[in-house]
Amino acid sequence: MTTTHNRTPWHLWLIGGVLLVFNGFGAVDMTFSLSQPQTYNQMSGMTVEQIAWFDGFPAWVTIAWIASVVGGLLGAVTLLVRSSLAGWLLGVSTAATTGYVIYGYALSSGIAAMGAIWFMPAVVAILTGLATIYAFKMNGR
């Protein structure tokens, strides 16, 4: 009798762990930004222009931001427990982040408001997209 073990590859633990930490920080940031916006944003070192830009988000952008963070956090957890939902949840996060990026780059003054870190939302969208692809590939194994 032969036994086959379906071992979890080391890179799944690494990528899942990094995603969990990154999205955990995102969840903390989002929670404080939504619950104590003025205090938290000022303590974070945001400029008056940045705070005004964030305060001016239409409801759909705030919903996209929440979906991005929650989808990313749940996607990381489900990846670590090897659930087939991981790719779908990370896909929701990618789509929501892309919506946020479109708003920031094309539909508002986000690039000017964010200053030197204007590129970060696009980096997050790309990395989340790559994590989505990874999760679907791991699900296929």
What is the maximum alpha-carbon separation in the chain? 69
Give a yes or no: residue 2 inside a domain.
no
Give a yes or no: residue 3 inside a domain.
no
Residues 23-52 have pLDDT tens digits of: 999 999 899 988 887 788 888 888 888 888
Q: For residue 114, what are its two tokens?
A: 């964010």
d(CA 69, CA 77): 12
* CA count, 13 A, side-chain hemisphere, 92: 18
Residues 84-126 have pLDDT tens digits of: 999 999 999 999 999 999 998 999 888 888 888 888 889 999 9
Domain total of the chain: 1
Give a yes or no: residue 99 inside a domain.
yes
State CA 89 to chain mean position distance: 11
Boundaries of domain holding 51: 14-140
Give a yes or no: residue 4 inside a domain.
no
